[in-house]
Amino acid sequence: MKKWLFLTISALLLFGLSGCGKSVEEQINMGVASSQTVFEESPKEANKKMGQIELYLPSGYKIQDTDDVNNYVLTKGKDKYILFVNVNEKEDSKLHYELLKKNMSKAIVKEQPLELDGIFGFTMVLEHGENQFELVASSGGVKVSTISNDRKIDNKLEEMMRIARSVEVIH
């Protein structure tokens, strides 16, 4: 009898705690705020080199080999990210931002343009389907994007901006 009581109480506690997670809106707001903070910080020192770029990859991220000098695939667990580097765009480039703003096929859930010392960047969250979002973090000619479910959006946006800000083109 004590065993069943313990299991029942444990199950109720687990069920109750699982509902205490952040809402999607909270995750998006926190992620956008965190990515702004990261944008305003000094970029992390590069710990990876791939083709003609050097960049910082947070723990758990891997970069896949590619022949494309503009597009790289990053993975972390089951999540895939596209890192696009336009070597011809300067740090003040608004190209990625303007292209996404003109694309009316996806609704913008939240956007945050950012400027600091002649560098333009932004964070954007777009609807991608039921309980799915396209997350974008960009700095100059660098854009990191992924499709995400409604979990860990805040952490992903922060890490994506950290990666975007760290990319340096080697000439």
User: What pLDDT sits at residue 20?
Assistant: 54
The fraction of the chain above a pLDDT of 90, given in percent, is: 67
Question: In the predicted model, is pLDDT for residue 7 greater than 80?
Answer: no
Examine the pLDDT at 10 and tell me if it is beyond 80.
no
Instruction: State which H helix or E strand residue 56 sits in.
Output: none
Instruction: Determine the topology of domain 22-169 in CATH.
Output: Jelly Rolls (2.60.120)
Q: Where are the alpha helices (DSSP H) in the chain?
A: 2-18, 24-40, 95-102, 153-166
Q: Taking all residues of the chain, what is their mean pLDDT, rounded to a whole number?
A: 87
pTM of the model: 0.85
Q: Where are the domains of the chain?
A: 22-169
The encoded tokens of residue 37 equal: 């903070």
Q: Which of 15-29, 44-58, 61-75 has the lowest mean pLDDT?
A: 15-29
Select from 84, 102, 101, 99 the least CA-distant residue to 139: 84
In this structure, are residues 125 and 32 in contact, taking their beta carbons and an 8 Å threshold?
Answer: yes
Report yes or no: 144 and 82 within 8 Å, Cβ to Cβ: yes
pLDDT at residue number 33? 96
- Stretch 136-144: mean pLDDT: 96
φ, ψ of residue 32 to 5 degrees: the values are: -65, -45
Share of the chain above pLDDT 70, in %: 88
Rounded (10°) angle between helices 153-166 and 24-40: 20
Tokens of 90: 């300067």
Q: Residue 87 has what pLDDT?
A: 87
Spatial separation of the C-alpha atoms in residues 125 and 131, rounded to whole Å: 12
